[in-house]
């Protein structure tokens, strides 16, 4: 406790403790660091594309990934299987038909990936799945999305705080 000038009675007046300083905001790197330095980060694996698209128009897997990134202190996303299509530069959200009803409000995964990348989340896609879905060109992916050999991220799981499927 610190003291200030004494009261007329001669007793020192205790001063209010100063407010603790806040740690500086973490910097947002333009390019995420390699996983080997990410002991506090988590990894989310997304394998199914447009899962529950009608039911989740307000909160899809990529939006949830963004929230996990913010609340867990860092999140990387690995796209596998049909979900690699989310990272396709030429992709567009499909129109969904149920009988005669057309749902054109399915979320656009490119926007979700842009938000993740801008927030400092790493986004990877496995090369075998890219080839299986016809995305083999160098310019076939959105900027900032990285290719990784099949199984390479599984070899890094021990470096993550948590690994889970979204």
Kindly tell me if the per-residue pLDDT of 27 is higher than 70. Answer: no
Using pLDDT thresholds of 50, 70 and 90, give the confidence band for residue 30: very low
**99-140 pLDDT, tens per residue?**
888 876 667 788 889 999 999 999 999 999 998 988 877 788
Query: 103-110 long-range CB contacts below 8 Å, 24 or more apart?
Result: 103/53, 103/54, 105/57, 106/50, 106/53, 106/54, 106/57, 107/53, 107/56, 107/57, 107/60, 107/62, 107/63, 109/49, 109/60, 109/62, 109/85, 110/86, 110/142
pLDDT at 149: 93
pLDDT in tens, 3-17: 445 545 555 544 444
Query: What pLDDT does residue 34 have?
Result: 56
- The number of angstroms, rounded, from the C-alpha of 88 to the middle of its chain's C-alpha atoms is 17
Rg over CA atoms, the chain: 23
User: Three-state SS for 31?
Assistant: coil
Q: What average pLDDT does range 30-35 have in this prediction?
A: 48
**pTM of the model as a whole:** 0.67
Are 66 and 115 in contact by the 8 Å Cβ rule? The answer is yes
* Residue in the structure block whose two tokens are 């867990």: 72
pLDDT digits (tens, 9 = 90+) for 42-77: 999 998 876 655 555 556 788 889 989 988 889 999
- For the chain, give every domain's residue range: 35-165
Q: Which CATH class is domain 35-165?
A: alpha beta
Range 21-39 average pLDDT:
48
């Amino acid at each position: 406790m610190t003291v200030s000038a004494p009261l007329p009675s001669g007793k020192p007046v205790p001063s209010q403790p100063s407010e603790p300083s806040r740690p500086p905001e973490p910097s947002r790197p333009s390019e995420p660091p390699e996983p080997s330095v990410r002991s506090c980060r988590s990894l989310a694996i997304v394998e199914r594309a447009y899962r529950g698209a009608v039911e989740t128009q307000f909160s899809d897997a990529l939006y949830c990934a963004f929230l996990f990134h913010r609340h867990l202190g860092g999140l990387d996303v690995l796209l596998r299987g049909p979900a690699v299509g989310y990272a396709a530069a030429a992709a567009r959200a499909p129109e969904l038909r149920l009988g005669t009803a057309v749902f054109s409000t399915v979320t656009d995964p490119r926007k979700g990936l842009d938000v993740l990348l801008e927030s400092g989340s790493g986004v990877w896609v496995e090369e075998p799945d890219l080839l299986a879905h016809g995305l083999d060109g160098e310019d076939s992916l959105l900027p900032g999305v990285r290719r990784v050999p099949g199984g390479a991220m599984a070899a890094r799981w021990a470096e993550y705080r948590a690994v889970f499927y979204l």
